[in-house]
Amino acid sequence: METARPDTRIMLVGVLVVLTLLLAVLDLASGSVRIPFGEVVRALLGTASQQEWGVIISIFRLPKLATAMLAGAGLAAAGLMLQSLFRNPLAGPDSLGIGAGASIGVALLMFAGNILGLQKAAGTAGSALLGGLQPLGYVALVLAASLGSFAVLLMILLLARKFEQVVTVLIMGLLVGYLASSVVSLLIYFGSPQKAQVYLAWTYGSFGGVRAGELPFLGGAVLLGCALGAYDRKALNAFLLGERFAATIGIRVRTARTRLLIAAALLAGSVTAFCGPIAFLGIAAPQAARRLARSSEHGVLLPVSMLLGMIFALSADILSSLPGKGAVLPINPLLALIGSPVILSMFLRGAREDFEGGA
């Protein structure tokens, strides 16, 4: 079977870009207050016929849109890097324990906060997730999640230096993940029901919590992470054929591996901190990208994965506000609900093609 030629790949990227832009406009139009398409465009130009529409779009929906796109692209890029680095299609931000590290940070802040004298901050963090934002509480939440994932990353980097085999690092990541979730379970078990409720709300995931002032931090982290991945795409290609192979064609294996792990942790850690543990995107988007682009070349896979990540995130965000009247569905279950069947059908069709085409 012939693989897609370069021009069809460019066409695929073009189609995905158009689809992303369409979904972006749809995302701006959808929400508890319905705003017509034309008005969305006029609001963006600053000429909305109703002033409150302009306010809703610039204060709430534009940051939410940017967050969804950054989170989608960032998690997809992180997932792709980890899957190629570990030569394992099931690897993702979660399998490194990075998400678990962020969860531990947040859980510690919420449940053990009173011991550390941070109860007030934790309390406001909870209310932040449920609607009314308090700056300090929110900052504490992001800080806790970032510190948690960074702590796990440091552990994994130290382990990665000690062990030659990359699979060992993957197993360590999984163990750290289990460790983290058991600590979280214990904290929930001994914590008050209200706090458990607040923690649960964070785990549902949300793109709505980031405000315009915080966007540069998320944007900077995602941009830096993706740039590191794009810089190392030679190494990513070579890692697919094995680390020993990579070493013999001139890749500095340990340096590249360390750089990619830092990039993945930066992406997964920052997105988890701001939006909650959205694991599905990181695993699903790269899978879908490989199937769609019919390529293993990271110069193609990275942009396609990022675009698909944005498309998944935007679709979930649009669906989450469908009930209207201020009710919002949680992002995490929605993503898996719409994403899993899509990926599954791709695999089934791919398997049939591979079988019939003798690929």
Q: Which residues bind other proteins (CB under 8 A)?
A: 1-3, 87, 231-234, 237-238, 240-242, 244-245, 247-253, 290, 293-297, 299, 358-359
Least distance (Å) between residue 298 CB and other proteins: 9
Query: Which lies closer to other proteins via its Cβ, residue 54 or residue 79?
Result: 79
Q: What is the dihedral of CA 330, 331, 332, 336, to 10 degrees?
A: 120
- Distance from C-alpha of 44 to C-alpha of 65, rounded to nearest angstrom: 13
Least distance (Å) between residue 353 CB and other proteins: 12
Query: Which lies closer to other proteins via its Cβ, residue 214 or residue 297?
Result: 297
| Contact between 50 and 257 (Cβ < 8 Å) | no
Least distance (Å) between residue 172 CB and other proteins: 18
H or E segment and range at residue 49: none
| Chain mean position to CA 182 | 23
Query: Which lies closer to other proteins via its Cβ, residue 5 or residue 325?
Result: 5
- Retrieve residue 216's tokens: 């540069």
Provide DSSP, 64-80: HHHHHHHHHHHHHHHHH
Q: How far apart are the first and last CA of the chain?
A: 6
Least distance (Å) between residue 54 CB and other proteins: 42
| Contact between 156 and 174 (Cβ < 8 Å) | no
Query: Which lies closer to other proteins via its Cβ, residue 13 or residue 319?
Result: 13
Q: Sort 233 into a burial class: Cβ within 10 Å, 0-12 / 13-18 / 19+.
A: middle
Query: Which lies closer to other proteins via its Cβ, residue 198 or residue 289?
Result: 289
| Contact between 131 and 210 (Cβ < 8 Å) | no
Query: Which lies closer to other proteins via its Cβ, residue 117 or residue 358?
Result: 358
Query: Which lies closer to other proteins via its Cβ, residue 214 or residue 353?
Result: 353
Least distance (Å) between residue 83 CB and other proteins: 11
Least distance (Å) between residue 63 CB and other proteins: 33
Least distance (Å) between residue 240 CB and other proteins: 6
Q: How many residues does the chain have?
A: 359
Provide DSSP, 237-272: HHHTT-HHHHHHTT--HHHHHHHHHHHHHHHHHHHH
